[in-house]
Amino acid sequence: MKGDLDDPKALIQEAYKIENITRSECRSIFLDWALSLPIEQDANISIKNLLERYQSEFSDHPMTETLEEGLLKMVKPKRRGGWKSRHRSGSD
């Protein structure tokens, strides 16, 4: 593991090192970061941890804005599907 539990590939850490990084680039990195998390890991907790780590030093950085936005919009998906979710005729 290159990074840590909250940033396994150190993508967020590296984003903060890139000079003149754009918000669009940060969003792309954020997506890659989110996809790199183990499925059982709560992304909201990791985002909060990353904000605690970087927010005070990089308050105006586009990655900080992206993490804040992600915290508001990230919802842990609920598994849907399987036999319980299928409509059964005659059961209503």
- The reply to whether 63 falls in a domain is yes
- The reply to whether 18 falls in a domain is yes
- The reply to whether 5 falls in a domain is no
Residue 3 pLDDT: 85
Per cent of the chain over pLDDT 90 is: 74
Domain residues for the domain of 59 are 11-76
- Nearest Cα neighbor of 11 from 46, 60, 59, 52 is 46
Tens of pLDDT, residue by residue over 15-33, are 999 999 999 999 999 999 9
- The reply to whether 85 falls in a domain is no
Structure tokens at 59: 């308050």
CA-CA-CA-CA dihedral for 34, 36, 41, 42, to nearest 10? -10
- The reply to whether 84 falls in a domain is no
pLDDT-wise least confident of 43-47, 57-61, 64-68, 75-79 = 75-79
∠ Cα 57 12 25 (to 5°): 100
- The reply to whether 81 falls in a domain is no
Could you tell me if 62 and 16 are in contact, meaning their C-beta atoms sit under 8 angstroms apart? no
Give the three-state DSSP class for 28: helix
